[in-house]
Amino acid sequence: MAVVATKRDYSLIGRDTKLAEEKGLASAQWYSCSVPRKELKAMMKRSDWPALRDTAIWFASFFVSGGLGYYFWGTWWAVPCFFVYGVLYGSSTDSRWHECGHGTAFKTRWMNDVVYHIACFMILREPTIWRWSHTRHHTDTIIVGRDPEIAAPRPPDVAGLLSNLFALKSGGRALSRIFLHATGRLAEDEKTFVPDMERWKVYAVARIWVAIFAAVVVACLYFRSILPAMYIGLPSFYGAFMVIFFGLTQHAGLAEDVLDHRLNSRTVYMNPIFRFLYWNMNYHVEHHMFPMVPYHALPRLHDAIKADCPRPYRSTIEAYREIIPAILRQCKDPNYFVKRELPSGAKAVPYNHDAVIVAAE
Amino acid sequence: MSESWVDACAADDVDAEDVIRFDRDGRTFAIYRTDDDRYFATDGWCTHEQAHLADGLVMDTIIECPKHNGRFDFTTGQAKGAPVCVDLQTYPVKVEGGRVFIQVG
């Protein structure tokens, strides 16, 4: 099968949007591993307890690291304190935003909403915009022209990815969008996935956030210190590096335009600290295939379906041994991707299977 | 019995606090059973996108769509929050002789 190289158009209002629809990739049927209903129902079951425990630890960690940062302010001891505070604020909020946005962290709905909004603010992801954007990501995962959350489009912008270790590019974009929304307007791509009836929420929240940022700036000027901003605002940048570190393991370097999460997502075994920060999002194949399963049940789901999935990565190091060369190769050859091997006997979604076999040779 | 009442399933085909799929004449439905043995029926497809609610999660009187976690109250069909905005069509249900009937009209 001949592969014709064309420049991809990742925008949601471009050529590849129409192509994806014409090829039947938009809002399509995806492969799903077979899990008996009773077993899946047990895994989907919601509980407040795990998230209450983890959120209590999370908040306590903020207070301890932030408190120590204040105590040691002016000395070098403040650096590790704000390092921890920053990672909690600017990185672990990614998983809290994600899980609570799905409504699966807690059984009680309002608890999900409270943590969701706190996490959104800290990681500069506007709650309504990203709820709808993430909905589209789950409908059309890594479908070019449809998925607004493709972290490493091809050819990869390596400088951009590196700058996002401190959210320089993403954070700058987020702030400009927040200010746009505060004026009562949406960007053109946002109009494609945020329904009319939801837009007032975007504008209202943006205005609240701008007011908070203004208050922090005033506080810094009043106290003649950046310390207020070290607690609110700056950690979205100086603490953001784990977002990229974890986030690229999800899909970077894998297939695009396939209807099988086993081929475009990774499951990576991680240590307990990483899994606390990441709230088990390292079980990414499982999460995409069954988004109703809460984070605390994902390891169980992994055990239930792993025989029908590619081998998981044993560590983030192993994942990055694949990701970094793949991204670098894609800089020169944007058609390259890593083909995940399905176990023998596993069913592959028939659509686009030929394209998967041809590439990554 | 009126012709619009359709025999959907045995009452015990649906576990407590669960949902099953029922198809008829090119249409698809979701049949629910609550914890206290009340039965309800709605359209099977989520009103947001093409995902079948029978694959979703029942919590009290809420059905959560398996695709994007959108929620409906299946006793009224009411959409309970984004990404679902459009209510579900509901259908009258009765249980007779251990069988669940829905009125599809």
Q: A45 to chain B: nearest residue by CA?
A: B57
- What per-residue confidence (pLDDT) applies to A313? 98
C-alpha A103/C-alpha A44 separation (Å) is: 12
- What per-residue confidence (pLDDT) applies to A148? 87
CA dist A214 → A95, A222, A282 (Å): 27, 12, 36
- What per-residue confidence (pLDDT) applies to A360? 36
Q: B55 to chain A: nearest residue by CA?
A: A37
SS3 A176: helix
- Whole-structure pTM value: 0.90
Band of pLDDT at residue A266, cut at 50, 70 and 90:
very high
Q: Is the per-residue pLDDT at A47 higher than 70?
A: yes
Q: What is the pLDDT of residues B30-53, one digit of tens each?
A: 999 999 999 999 999 999 888 999
All residues of chain A having their beta carbon less than 8 Å from the beta carbon of residue B83 are 131-132, 135
Q: What is the pLDDT of residues A217-241, one digit of tens each?
A: 999 999 999 999 999 999 999 999 9
Q: Do B85 and B70 touch, CB atoms closer than 8 A?
A: no
Band of pLDDT at residue B3, cut at 50, 70 and 90:
low
B interface with A, Cβ–Cβ < 8 A, is 15, 18, 48-50, 56-57, 59, 64, 66-69, 71, 82-83, 85
Q: Average pLDDT over chain A, rounded to whole?
A: 92
- CATH number for B93: 2.102.10.10
- What per-residue confidence (pLDDT) applies to B1? 45
**Average pLDDT in the B47-73 region?**
93
**Amino acid of residue B89:** Q
Residue A336 C-alpha, separation from nearest chain B C-alpha, in angstroms:
30
CA dist B92 → A347, B4, B50, B78 (Å): 39, 10, 23, 15
Band of pLDDT at residue A357, cut at 50, 70 and 90:
very low
Q: Is the per-residue pLDDT at B103 higher than 50?
A: yes
Q: B15 to chain A: nearest residue by CA?
A: A38
Output A349 or B48, whichever has higher pLDDT.
Answer: B48
Q: Report CB contact under 8 Å: B57, A139.
A: no
**Average pLDDT in the A99-104 region?**
94
**Average pLDDT in the A147-161 region?**
92
Domain boundaries, chain A: 15-358
Output A347 or A86, whichever has higher pLDDT.
Answer: A86
Q: Is the per-residue pLDDT at A135 higher than 90?
A: no
| Percent of chain A whose pLDDT exceeds 70 | 94
Residue B49's domain comprises: 5-103
And the tokens for A116?
A: 């969701």
**Average pLDDT in the A7-21 region?**
87
* Alpha helix segments (H runs only) across chain A: 15-22, 37-44, 49-71, 78-90, 92-102, 109-123, 127-139, 158-163, 168-182, 188-191, 199-223, 227-231, 235-238, 241-251, 261-264, 272-278, 284-289, 298-305, 316-332, 353-358
And the tokens for B85?
A: 């905005």
Q: Report CB contact under 8 Å: B71, A103.
A: yes
**Average pLDDT in the B54-61 region?**
95
| Percent of chain A whose pLDDT exceeds 90 | 79
Q: Report CB contact under 8 Å: A103, B85.
A: no
Total structural domains in chain B?
1
- What per-residue confidence (pLDDT) applies to A192? 83
Q: What is the pLDDT of residues A71-90, one digit of tens each?
A: 999 999 999 999 999 999 99
Looking at residue A252, the DSSP 8-state letter turns out to be T
Q: What is the pLDDT of residues A288-337, one digit of tens each?
A: 999 999 999 999 999 999 999 999 999 999 999 999 999 999 999 999 99
Taking one residue from A and the other from B, the number of pairs with CB-CB distance under 8 angstroms is 43
All residues of chain A having their beta carbon less than 8 Å from the beta carbon of residue B69 are 102-104, 291-292
C-alpha B47/C-alpha B1 separation (Å) is: 31
- What per-residue confidence (pLDDT) applies to A355? 42
Band of pLDDT at residue A12, cut at 50, 70 and 90:
confident
Q: Which of B49, B50, B69 shows the shortest C-beta gap to A102?
A: B69
**Average pLDDT in the A179-202 region?**
91
